[in-house]
């Protein structure tokens, strides 16, 4: 299981993001961006990531379909969470994502003025995914849905770099033991390796994040240990990227962050979505 297949238009890979949209996502982060609501921070992070993936796949002749992308929300309802023209779609080629944001906002960004200071600059910020917070946390339902979607995709792309599923949540499942559907999802595989399931637990209290642990020894409770054991081991190239970003990782480190603030979320999404062999 090498996780080394080339990613190309003829043999694309896939990302599926499972986003907790329960009522508690209305709360602010417990540390770091204390005034930022979790639902808003996650929506910004996902939209920024989608924009970066579009840029990464953009070539002179247009956006190449190296990836198929899906976003699923789970809370009072569960299902595809793209808006606008992509509404209701499970997995979408990145070229289709590129031309179908729901809207484009004007945002202010601080940039280097070249003289040691910062200046404000207006930038375009495409929106594909809206912040929502309502209801419980049907994580089992979302993971079962992801298994169905990914099984169909793998049947059509059996030799691809394995799909990556990133689950972002701030609480325990309210519909059962999430480890059961997580295990079934992680057993799906292409010829290049098993599906990768990564988990980000959002901060609800002050305290340090636990990032890319190799064991559950230092995790504080049964819920954090459950998410750890649901998470896949980082493939070699992601271990290398994490080390380059200053994280201490080992060959058994997992794609899991507990008590993440917005900085942790953004770094995790970047590491978890960098390709190994894009061509």
Within-domain flag for 268: yes
DSSP β-ladder status, 256-260 and 210-211: antiparallel
CA–CA distance from 168 to each of 107, 199, 265 (Å)?
A: 25, 6, 9
Within-domain flag for 6: no
Within-domain flag for 277: no
**Whole domain around residue 144: which residue ranges?**
13-272
What whole-number distance in Å separates Cα of residue 11 and Cα of residue 67?
Answer: 9
pTM of the prediction?
0.93
Element of type H or E holding 156: helix 139-156
Within-domain flag for 279: no
Helix/strand number for the chain, H first, E second: 7, 14
Within-domain flag for 4: no
DSSP β-ladder status, 164-169 and 13-20: parallel
Within-domain flag for 3: no
Region 79-107: mean pLDDT is: 96
Q: How much is the pLDDT for 31?
A: 63
Q: Please state, for a pLDDT cut of 90, what percent of the chain lies above it.
A: 81
Mean predicted lDDT score pLDDT of the chain? 92
Region 246-274: mean pLDDT is: 92
Q: Please state, for a pLDDT cut of 70, what percent of the chain lies above it.
A: 95
Say how many domains are in the chain: 1
CATH for 113: 3.40.50.410
- Helical pair 179-186 and 222-230, crossing angle rounded to 10 deg: 10
DSSP β-ladder status, 118-127 and 103-112: antiparallel
Within-domain flag for 82: yes
What whole-number distance in Å separates Cα of residue 233 and Cα of residue 64?
Answer: 29
The answer on pLDDT for 207 being more than 80 is: no
With the CA atoms of 162, 93, 95 and 132 taken in that order, what torsion angle do they form, in degrees rounded to the nearest 10? -100
Within-domain flag for 7: no
- CA-based angle 141:185:10, to the nearest 5? 115
């Amino acid at each position: 299981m090498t996780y080394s297949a080339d990613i190309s238009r003829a043999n694309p890979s896939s990302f599926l993001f499972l986003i907790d949209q329960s009522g508690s996502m209305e709360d602010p982060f417990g540390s770091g961006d204390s005034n930022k609501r979790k639902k808003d921070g996650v929506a910004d992070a996902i939209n920024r990531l989608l924009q970066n993936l579009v840029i990464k796949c953009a070539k002179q002749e247009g956006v190449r379909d190296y990836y198929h992308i899906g976003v699923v929300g789970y809370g009072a309802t569960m299902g595809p969470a793209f808006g606008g023209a992509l509404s209701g779609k499970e997995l979408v080629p990145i070229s289709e994502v590129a031309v179908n944001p729901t809207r484009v906002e004007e945002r202010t960004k601080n940039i280097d003025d070249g003289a040691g200071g910062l200046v404000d600059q207006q930038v375009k910020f495409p929106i594909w995914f809206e912040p929502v917070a309502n209801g419980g946390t049907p994580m089992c339902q979302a993971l079962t849905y992801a298994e169905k979607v990914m099984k169909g995709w793998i049947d059509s792309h059996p030799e691809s770099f394995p799909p990556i599923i990133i689950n972002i949540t701030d609480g325990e499942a309210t519909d059962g033991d999430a480890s059961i559907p997580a295990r079934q999802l992680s057993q799906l595989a292409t010829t290049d390796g098993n599906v990768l399931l990564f988990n980000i637990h959002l901060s609800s209290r002050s305290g340090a994040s636990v990032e890319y642990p190799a064991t559950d020894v230092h995790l504080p409770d049964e819920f954090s240990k459950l998410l750890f054991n649901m998470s896949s081991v980082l493939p070699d190239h992601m271990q290398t990227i994490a080390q380059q970003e200053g994280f201490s990782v080992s060959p058994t480190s997992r794609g899991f962050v507990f008590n993440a603030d917005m900085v942790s979320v953004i770094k995790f999404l970047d590491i978890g979505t960098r390709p190994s062999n894009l061509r």
